[in-house]
Amino acid sequence: MAYSRGAVERAMKVQEVVLRAIDGKLSWVQAADILGYSPRTIRRIRWRLQHFGYEGLLDRRRQTPSPKRAPVAEVQRLLALYRERYLGFNVRHFHQLARREHRVRFCYAFVKKALQTAGLVAKHQPLPHERASR
């Protein structure tokens, strides 16, 4: 899997600022301010650039998928279950039934977010007095 365009652009910006700091045109504190990093993070980036080159600047976490991600087939089954059998139920009742009768293992927050993202359930709109107090 290749890095996203945004990740490469961020790495290029970091490389440019760090190279200017290595060259002496910027102090390390200025480089940290420009990138919005702490001095310790800048030292780590400098070390990675010296030892691994440009590849050391790329965020390796973004290349691998999350170990907690939900299987697509399970999410599709959940959405189909709501669409076909429980359309109109509120999320809390649907979640209880899905866990008890259909062995769905997702937490309530994930089920709610999945149903809202799929457009099957409306997002909660705060009442006028709730909006005023924020």
pLDDT digits (tens, 9 = 90+) for 38-67: 989 888 888 887 888 767 776 666 566 566
The one-letter code for the residue type at 115 is L
Which residues contact residue 99 at a Cβ distance below 8 angstroms, ignoring those fewer than 6 apart?
105
pLDDT of residue 1: 47
111 CB-near residues (< 8 Å, 6+ apart): 78, 91, 94, 95, 98, 104
Task: Name residues whose C-beta falls within 8 Å of residue 134's C-beta, 6 or more positions apart in sequence.
Answer: 126
Query: Cβ of 4: how many Cβ atoms within 10 Å?
Result: 12
Print burial letters for 46-64: b (CB count within 10 Å at least 16), e (below 16). Answer: bebbeeeeeebbbeeeeee
Instruction: Give percent of the chain above pLDDT 90.
Output: 25
